[in-house]
Amino acid sequence: MTSLALPERRDLQLPDAAQDRSREPTPRWWRDATAAFAWAVTLFVVALWVAGGGLTAFGSAGESLTNLGHLSGLLASVLMLLQVLLMARIPVVEQAWGQDELARVHRLVGFTSFNLMLAHIALTILGYSAGTDLGVIGTFVDEVLHSPGMLLALAGAVALVMVVVTSVRKARARLRHESWHLLHLYAYLGGGLALPHQLWTGQDFNTNGLATGFWWGLYAVALISVLVFRVGLPLIRSRRHRLVVSHVVAESSTVTSVVMTGRRLDLLRVRAGQFFQWRFLDGPGWTRANPYSLSAAPDGRTLRITAEAVGGSSSRLATLRPGTKVLLEGPYGRLHTGVRTSGKAVLIGAGIGITPLRAILEELPAAPTAKDGVVVIYRVGSHADIVLGNELLDLARSRGGRVVAVVGHRNRERSSWLPADSSSLGDVEAMTRIVPDIAERDVYVCGNPAWMDAVIAAAHEAGVPREAVHHERFSY
């Protein structure tokens, strides 16, 4: 570990964003409120099943299987709709949970809903087949061909199977972000195709006025949320601010910064460290959005992103021309200064993950004393991999802080945030050597997921409270 040594520094002009931004983040209690709402809705569905005679419908083996299939179908449907609400980018929900927790809950709810859907199909077919001579396969074919809405429901189930299969981590790792995102939209199609089946054959839609109103209401809320927050709000913001590419800067042979200007950017409620979904209208591929964090604090006049060329979309950034129109969706994420729990901070980034931390550094106020100064720990494979280094040095100095480079190739013998040549040091020991008072600081982390896990584990072991560690993942 060494103090960051770079070529001759260049002056950095600090924008107005270095001023204090006092906008309060969405309170965490909103997360508890949304979780309570989800549980209440799910329990209400169970209550409707009970009120409809669910507990008394157990009789023969076939009746019992069909009854359980009915319950699993109801639960699969409500969880699917709750998942749509999680995907809808409702600002108060997204800001309260943050991307990490929201993505984790999204996966949990999604896989649970999918498993319940499979259980619904299997239990219902087994239950129906118990009362016929057609057998399981014959009953399945008969239901698909003759029950109202079943062909559409089967098509919806196939769409959901495709979404789930491509969401498994190993399959997800083999897909480009753009391809995965496009396939993921089939979840909406799957849910929509299942609706006629529920309308035409579902007891809760046809026999109980309260249940009918509940299900129609929940479907309407899900649809309106998607239309408003995934379609309407991004279009309104893009039209209001009319972003265009101002200029493109090659930070290195593989890293590019894009600076954008627009109208009334001071009205855009964004903080340093947050990210947008970006679409650059420069030709084919513009429909595919990509998440990039701000690499400079917003100043009301410009927005800047910095990305490494790791795929087709990120490589395109280097070829953008001034004047290219930009559509944006966001801002998203809780990786910003508004979530701090103390007056001191340490920013720990690896590779291109340093870019949102550089923006956060710009927004942090100057420390009252030298010992309280912000510490930036920058993990890179070699000095040639350092990007935005001069800016980091200037910003840290202006805030009474320091930058420490942790340089070296990855340790392949153990899971560690340290390089191989530091194998004699433990993860916690190295962290506390660099920042002895780390337990009293907020810790911001950004890098590849496995490395982040090692940093977060070391920070907690060093005494940093869970609520004082802030991180964002983009790999879900």
Instruction: Render pLDDT for 40-93 as a digit per residue (tens, 0 to 9).
Output: 999 999 998 888 888 887 888 888 998 898 899 889 989 989 988 888 888 888
The overall pTM is greater than 0.85: no
- What pLDDT does 16 receive? 39
- What pLDDT does 367 receive? 86
Longest Cα–Cα distance of the chain, Å, equals: 85
Q: How many residues does the chain have?
A: 476
What is the Cα–Cα distance from 224 to 279, expressed in whole angstroms? Answer: 23
Instruction: Render pLDDT for 193-240 as a digit per residue (tens, 0 to 9).
Output: 777 677 666 666 666 788 888 988 998 999 999 999 989 999 999 999
Low-confidence ranges of the chain (pLDDT < 50): 1-23, 476
Task: Quote the tokens at residue 268.
Answer: 């855009």
Q: Are 297 and 338 in contact (CB under 8 A)?
A: no
- What pLDDT does 211 receive? 84
Instruction: Render pLDDT for 442-472 as a digit per residue (tens, 0 to 9).
Output: 999 999 888 999 999 999 999 999 989 998 8
What is the Cα–Cα distance from 6 to 221, expressed in whole angstroms? Answer: 54
- What pLDDT does 180 receive? 61
Comparing C-alpha atoms, which of 245, 332, 340, 344 is closest to residue 294?
Answer: 332
Comparing C-alpha atoms, which of 18, 22, 24, 95 is closest to residue 297?
Answer: 18
